[in-house]
Amino acid sequence: MSNYLEETMLPLMLSINARKTSSHILSALGMDDRVSPQSILIAFGERIEQFWNQVLSDCEGVTNLIEDSNLIDVNGRTRQIDHLFKISETYYLESKCNLTFDSEKVRASNDKIKAVSSAIGDDVKAAYFVPVVPTVCKKELTKYNNKGMQVWGVNDLLSVINAPFTSEEYFTFLKEIIAPILEEKGL
């Protein structure tokens, strides 16, 4: 098991605090004292994004361009950038743990990536980054590629950086170490 994962990812995941649900449905059923699994998943998404930014900062030959600020002005509006880094080329990745959202959200997310990419510069390579799959399934790749969008899984990112862990170590760590922690928190 990678010490890097224990030192970098584990503290982020341990800091997740589950919230009680605020569901009217559960309240009506007398179950409003339950922990919200959705709050854990949202916190996980935020923490895994932080983790990958730390990985980018720690990788030799990679310059994480958002160490000081992850905000950019896009057409007079401040937008948050998930990952922006340079190796020999500049990459902008928008983290999404779930790509199956409604068509309106897909359009808005695609528009954000295009607008941010344009604000960064013409030579940026932009993609969705799914930090919870080794490779993106063909159906999702096709769906997004048909709209002119690239989609990366963990293996795609690891193919361009020299991370201090392998894909197998990463996913084993998620399953064996992180999953039980999140289950204990109420997931």
Q: What is the pLDDT of residues 12-31, one digit of tens each?
A: 999 988 777 777 887 788 87
Q: With 60 as the cut, is the pLDDT of residue 1 above it?
A: no
Digit-coded pLDDT (tens) for 67-77: 988 888 888 88
Q: With 90 as the cut, is the pLDDT of residue 53 above it?
A: yes
Digit-coded pLDDT (tens) for 143-180: 889 888 899 999 999 999 999 999 999 999 999 999 99
Confidence of residue 83 (pLDDT cuts 50, 70, 90): very high
Find out whether 99 and 105 touch, Cβ atoms under 8 Å.
no
Look up residue 108 and give its amino acid.
A
CA nearest neighbour of 15 among 56, 48, 64, 37: 48
End-to-end CA distance of the chain: 24
- Give pLDDT, residue 102: 58
The token pair at 181 is 């922690």
Range(s) for CATH 3.40.1350.10 in the chain? 61-162
CATH number of 61-162: 3.40.1350.10
pTM of the model: 0.88
CA dist 60 and 159 (Å) reads 14
CA nearest neighbour of 80 among 91, 89, 92: 92
Confidence of residue 56 (pLDDT cuts 50, 70, 90): very high
Confidence of residue 124 (pLDDT cuts 50, 70, 90): very high
